[in-house]
């Protein structure tokens, strides 16, 4: 997108004049005029005046009986824009619902979009959405069914779940994968806001997990991640399924359009690794079922792309979380080493983060890389510095505590951030309590900020 700057700059004058170009909404459209107006302003006060005028204009037009649904759509987008800038447009909320109700196609979709942006779970107007959603769920037009399921997955009043649940459940059997997938995501939403309302349909989640479409299966993983986080013991019987799915993904068995830069469904891999990590923790026999696929994942993620590094990071985390296996730990340690030594700053950061995560189990690893860690301590990037301090805090012992506390205090001295102060200050206090004799002898306590 970098060469687009030129294109944008050359296009700007003509766009800010009155020539509409094909395919792009004219800048003389109301939204265009508004945006152009805001872009040219320099003071907050002027922005306020302009937006207030805009809101008055929108209010007038939404209340007019002559406004078409197409026009209402434009008005809702303008209202969304005003709210995005921080100016409340609550008078438009009801009209967004009406647009979802009375509009068709894109107009309807924008109505639903505006509702999802304007309203939160507890807003009383949301109840008015339920009838519209119920109607659209029964539509013969699949696009409308999709829209309804999407909005249900975003914002829905908890108390009305029973009214809509049967219809959503029915969609789980729909021939089209997009409908099944969105139905699962709607159930995920219900699980998040009212888990007891969906207690009775756990068998349907299992069915979704085994769905022949990878998209539907992926959608079910969101629900499973939640459930496994709460009660891993109840899902040990599914480990085989998760391992098999990960094997298939890593082995390239998914259709090619699930690839991202030649890597098969990376975010899905990461999701599965997280679930496995929770299931294998403190459980030797369960962990043993995973070693092979973890080894495979490590091996496959050989390419030099950020996304494979992201998978590797998650893999390493999983290996260190579950019941230990020597060969895997060795490979994971090597991986962390590569990250820490990498000239790429993002990878270095991840390496430090990984070291911090594993240091309790493998303090030697940090020792191995102490030269690099010391270098990072003086890094120009404050984020790297801070992450290094985080790591050092965890490998403090009687010998190095003075030096580490000194470094922490130095960072504190230069930081103006309240959160940093509280966090690091807390760490210093903790160390002082842990190693009182080493600390008393030093003059560090002059630093009473």
Q: Tokens 């950020």 belong to which residue?
A: 306
Helix (H) or strand (E) holding 260: strand 259-260
Contact call for residue 40 and other proteins (CB under 8 A): no
Specify the stretch interacting with other proteins by CB under 8 A; choose among 50-58, 131-139, 239-247, 349-357: 349-357
Verify binding: residue 386, other proteins, rule CB under 8 A: yes
Rg for the chain (alpha carbons), in Å?
A: 28
Residue 86 binds to other proteins (criterion: CB under 8 A) = yes
> Between 270 and 401, whose beta carbon lies closer to other proteins?
270
Neighbouring residues of 352: CB distance < 8 A, sequence distance ≥ 6: 340, 373, 376, 384, 387, 388, 390, 391
Cβ nearer to other proteins, comparing 221 with 289: 221
3-state helix/strand/coil string of 181-222? HHHHHHHHHHHHHCHHHHHHHHHHHHHHHCCCCHHHHHHHHH
Can residue 349 be called a binding residue for other proteins (CB under 8 A)?
Answer: yes
Which span (53-61, 92-100, 195-203, 302-310) binds other proteins, by CB under 8 A?
A: 302-310
- Residue 445 near other proteins by CB under 8 A: no
The least distance separating other proteins from the CB of residue 285, rounded to whole angstroms, comes to: 26
Give the x/- contact pattern for other proteins in 414-433, rule: CB under 8 A.
-----xx-------------
CB-based burial, 194-230: b 16+ in 10 Å, e otherwise: beebbeebeebbebbbebeebbbbbbbbbbbbebbee
> Candidates 26-34, 289-297, 355-363, 428-436 — which segment interacts with other proteins by CB under 8 A?
26-34
**The binder of other proteins chosen from 39, 140, 203, 441 (CB under 8 A):** 39
Q: Closest separation between CB of residue 4 and other proteins, Å?
A: 5
Task: Tell me whether strands 259-260 and 263-264 are parallel, antiparallel or unpaired.
Answer: antiparallel
Identify the residue among 19, 60, 88, 159 touching other proteins (CB under 8 A): 88
Site string for other proteins, 195-234 (x = CB under 8 A): --------------------x--xx--x------------
> CB-wise, 420 or 432, nearer to other proteins?
420
Query: Whose Cβ is closer to other proteins: residue 185's or residue 279's?
Result: 185
- Please identify, using beta-carbon distances, which residue of 132 and 435 lies nearer to other proteins: 132
Would you say 112 or 435 has its CB closer to other proteins?
112
Q: What's the token pair of residue 136? A: 């659209």
The answer to whether residues 329 and 319 touch, using CB atoms and an 8 Å cutoff, is yes
CA gap 198, 396 in Å, rounded: 47
- When asked if residue 389 is in the footprint of other proteins (CB under 8 A), the reply is no
Q: Are 410 and 424 in contact (CB under 8 A)?
A: no
Query: Side-chain half-sphere of 55: how many Cα atoms within 13 Å?
Result: 20
Element (H, E) at 259: strand 259-260
Please state, as a whole number, how many other Cβ atoms lie within 10 Å of the Cβ of residue 324.
13
What would the two tokens of residue 5 be? 């700057």
Among positions 257, 302, 327, 433, the unique one binding other proteins when judged by CB under 8 A: 257
Neighbours of 11 (CB within 10 A): 13
Q: Which stretch binds other proteins (CB under 8 A): 52-60, 99-107, 244-252, 287-295?
A: 99-107
Residue 185 binds other proteins (CB under 8 A) = yes
Write out the binding residues for other proteins, residues 107-126 only, by CB under 8 A: 109-110, 113, 116-117, 120
Residue 11 token pair: 């296009």
Count of residues that interact with other proteins, criterion CB under 8 A = 79
Cβ proximity to other proteins: between 4 and 446 the closer is 4
Binding to other proteins by residue 392, rule CB under 8 A? no
Residue 348 C-beta: closest distance to other proteins, Å: 7
C-alpha angle 122/126/128, rounded to 5°?
150
């Amino acid at each position: 997108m970098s060469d687009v700057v030129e294109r944008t700059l050359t296009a700007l004058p003509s766009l800010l004049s009155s020539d509409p170009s094909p395919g792009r909404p004219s800048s003389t459209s109301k939204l265009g005029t508004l945006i152009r107006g805001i872009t040219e302003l320099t003071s907050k006060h002027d922005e306020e005046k302009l937006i207030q005028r805009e809101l008055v204009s929108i209010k007038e037009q939404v209340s007019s009986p002559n406004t078409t649904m197409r026009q209402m759509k434009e008005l809702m987008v303008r209202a969304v824009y005003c709210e995005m800038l921080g100016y409340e447009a609550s008078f438009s909320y009801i009209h967004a619902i009406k647009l979802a109700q009375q509009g068709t196609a894109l107009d309807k979709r924008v109505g639903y979009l505006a509702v999802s942006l304007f309203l939160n779970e507890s807003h009383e107007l949301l109840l008015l959405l339920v009838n519209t959603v119920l109607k659209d769920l029964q539509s013969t037009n699949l696009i409308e069914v999709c829209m309804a399921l999407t909005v249900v997955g975003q914002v829905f009043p908890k108390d009305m779940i029973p009214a809509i649940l049967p219809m959503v459940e029915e969609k789980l059997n729909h021939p089209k994968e997009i409908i099944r997938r969105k139905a699962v995501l709607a159930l995920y939403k219900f699980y998040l806001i009212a888990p007891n309302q969906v207690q009775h349909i756990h068998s349907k989640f299992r069915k979704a997990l085994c769905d022949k479409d990878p998209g539907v299966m992926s959608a079910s993983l969101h629900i499973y991640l939640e459930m496994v986080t709460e009660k891993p013991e109840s899902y040990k019987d599914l480990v085989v399924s998760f391992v098999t799915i990960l094997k298939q993904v890593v082995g390239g068995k998914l259709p090619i359009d699930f690839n991202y830069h030649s890597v098969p469904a990376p975010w899905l891999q990461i999701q599965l690794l997280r679930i496995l990590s929770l299931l294998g923790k403190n459980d030797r026999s369960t962990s043993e079922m995973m070693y092979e696929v973890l080894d495979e994942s490590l091996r496959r993620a050989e390419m030099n792309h950020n996304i494979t590094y992201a998978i590797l990071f998650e893999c390493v985390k999983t290996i260190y979380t579950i019941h230990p296996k020597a060969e895997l730990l060795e490979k994971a340690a090597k991986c962390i080493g590569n990250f820490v030594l990498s000239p790429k700053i993002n990878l270095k950061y991840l390496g430090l983060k990984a070291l911090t995560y594993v240091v309790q189990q493998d303090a030697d690893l940090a020792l191995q890389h102490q030269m690099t860690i010391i270098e990072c301590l003086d890094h120009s990037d404050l984020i790297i510095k801070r992450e290094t301090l985080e790591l050092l805090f965890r490998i403090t012992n009687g010998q190095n505590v003075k030096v580490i506390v000194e470094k922490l205090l130095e960072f504190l001295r230069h930081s103006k951030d309240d959160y940093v102060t509280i966090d690091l200050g807390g760490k210093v206090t903790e160390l002082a309590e842990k190693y009182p004799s080493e600390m008393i002898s030093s003059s560090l306590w002059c630093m009473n900020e």
